[in-house]
Structure 1
Amino acid sequence: MKCNVGKTDRMIRIILGTCIIAVGFYNQSWWGVVGIVPLFTAAIGWCPAYVPFGISSCETKK
Structure 2
Amino acid sequence: MKANVGGLDKGLRIGVGVLLIALALTGVIGAWGYLGVIPLATGVFNFCGLYTLLGINTCKLKK
TM-score band w.r.t. shorter chain: 0.7 to 0.9
Q: TM-score, normalised by structure 2?
A: 0.82
Q: Deviations over 1:41-61 (max 9, x none)?
A: 111110001011100001164
Identify the residue that residue 20 of structure 1 maps to in structure 2.
20
1:9 and 1:28, CA in 2 relative to 1: closer, same or farther beyond 3 A?
Answer: closer
Query: Which has the larger helix fraction?
Result: 2
Is 1:34 the counterpart of 2:20? The answer is: no
- Give RMSD over aligned pairs: 1.6
Q: Cα gap change, 1:56/1:20 in structure 2, threshold over 3 Å: closer, same or farther?
A: same
Hey, which bits of structure 1, 4+ residues long, moved more than 3 A? none
- Tell me the TM-score normalized by structure 1: 0.84
Secondary structure of 1:49 counterpart: helix
What's the % identity of the aligned pairs? Answer: 38
Distance 2:61 2:47 in 1: 15
2-structure distance, mates of 1:50, 1:11:
16
Pairwise CA distance, 1:31: 0.9
Gaps of 5+ in 2: none
Number of residues of Structure 1 aligned to a counterpart in Structure 2: 61
Query: 2: distance between equivalents of 1:35 and 1:11?
Result: 14
